[in-house]
Structure 1
């Protein structure tokens, strides 16, 4: 009994230590976002004077949100971000799932080479090719200032990772017997994929939807190179309007950042349970 009591005490102390560490790490990780939310409700003077104070002397002040909404033309920027993000995500998911399915089932030398090249392309940083990319599409082809061009580039940069994750999930979790049964019943390869295979990819699809939406929605660098016309700006680009040459409206910037992050944060909260299951069942087993 004494040993069990000592062991139980040690276990409780260990658990308390682990939970304390997790809470500290969580607060450290969340501090920038909490800092932004708190200061979005303050004036510029109060932000500079007391940035860590929870509430301003005037209490909750939503003037910064009203000003940010109007100045950044939130409705237009939100529409642009939504169009680009949804279009690119749908295209990536469908093309990646079909490509990964082909690579798994048509297991010949050519498919192995192409799959290896796609995986290898994941290590190439965007910064290494952004200048030639913009130079070709801008100076040579004149395709900049187009949401279609931005969607095309997003798809190109995101397709490799999505194929890689889908490939692992299909290879390890979907038996070929299901497809053989569908072929016996008269289904074509295309119908088999969309009626049998694709619905089974739900966990991985949800994971990739979250990852790609986060990447497309929050991206600043690529849209800043492709889009320069004000009517085409996405939400991250619209927040740059509040930065002046010599000063910046800090309160309005904080409010604009909250407005930009809020939609994607809501989506993440609803779909977060699929992330771990999708990644583990896909990428780790491939």
Structure 2
């Protein structure tokens, strides 16, 4: 009994330590978002003597927060929706039409995940620049579809294998077309997987900085992560509003993750069972 209790306390202590390590960066960010530049540079770990709410007002105005939030929201929602839809359809086609060509295509698609983005970003920007497709939110969404589909297809592929083909055959016998069978039978069954993939892609697209910085040039097209660059001057950094801007940037996605994390756990659990 004593050994079991001690091991329980050790696990709890370890989890508390890990929690503190994960929470500290956000706590540090939140703490300094209420301080002036001099207070941040002199002692960044000290509590603010006076809570300076002007940092948030300045950040909201300088980031053009409303427009940047709308840009991030549109790009994230459309990118996630297109990745989920097309990846599910592609995985279903690969599973139900298991030809040699489809097997090789699936292997190539999965192998594409190991290619780092940094290796192709310069040719990508040159090609899109020559076609006058830069500074366009639709071009960015199309790129997210291309870079996000391999992992989504790989995840969907394993789940589609677990769906009995007899369900689709019964729907076809009852008069459904293949498109109706997919959207009325297959896609609803994939709802936990879709939720998991959607949440992971929301976290990725919303927080992404590198790809939007290469594609979106005009200030009116910038996303929230790009808007935080407004606080960097040539020779100085406005740390107080910058910290407040980072809090405003990460807060929406943190709320989404807190309320949707159970869907990630459900999707991972179902995947491990299958």
Distance in 1 between the 2:63 and 2:269 partners? 39
Distance in 2 between the 1:130 and 1:122 partners? 15
**Of 19, 33, 36, which aligns to 1:40?**
33
> Which residue in 2 is equivalent to 1:223?
212
- The 5 A counterparts of 1:122-161 are 122-138=113-129, 140-161=130-151
> Which residue in 1 is equivalent to 2:49?
57
1:216-238 superposed Cα distances (whole Å, 9 cap, x missing partner): 11110000001111111110000
Distance in 2 between the 1:218 and 1:135 partners? 24
The answer on whether the counterparts of 1:96 and 1:163 sit within 8 Å (CA) in structure 2 is yes
> Which residue in 2 is equivalent to 1:248?
237
Is 1:169 the counterpart of 2:162? The answer is no
Q: How many pairs are equivalent?
A: 274
How much does 1:53 deviate?
Answer: 2.2
How much does 1:244 deviate?
Answer: 1.0
Is 1:195 the counterpart of 2:184? The answer is yes
Q: Unaligned regions of 5+ residues in structure 2, if any?
A: none
TM-score scaled by structure 1? 0.93
1:185-210 superposed Cα distances (whole Å, 9 cap, x missing partner): 11111001001111111111111111
Distance in 1 between the 2:31 and 2:166 partners? 56
> Which residue in 1 is equivalent to 2:98?
107
**Of 84, 92, 95, which aligns to 2:83?**
92
Distance in 1 between the 2:123 and 2:159 partners? 35
Q: What SS does structure 2 have at the residue aligned with 1:102?
A: helix
> Which residue in 2 is equivalent to 1:275?
264
1:55-95 superposed Cα distances (whole Å, 9 cap, x missing partner): x112x332111110000000010111111111111111100
The answer on whether the counterparts of 1:44 and 1:250 sit within 8 Å (CA) in structure 2 is yes
Is 1:69 the counterpart of 2:85? The answer is no
> Which residue in 2 is equivalent to 1:5?
none
How much does 1:285 deviate?
Answer: 7.2
Distance in 2 between the 1:240 and 1:75 partners? 16
Distance in 2 between the 1:279 and 1:249 partners? 42
> Which residue in 1 is equivalent to 2:110?
119
> Which residue in 2 is equivalent to 1:26?
19
TM-score scaled by structure 2? 0.97
> Which residue in 1 is equivalent to 2:72?
81
CA RMSD of aligned residues (A): 1.3
* Deviation beyond 3 Å, 4+ runs, structure 1: 279-282
1:91-134 superposed Cα distances (whole Å, 9 cap, x missing partner): 11100010011111111111111110110000000000000000
How much does 1:280 deviate?
Answer: 4.3
Q: Unaligned regions of 5+ residues in structure 1, if any?
A: 1-7
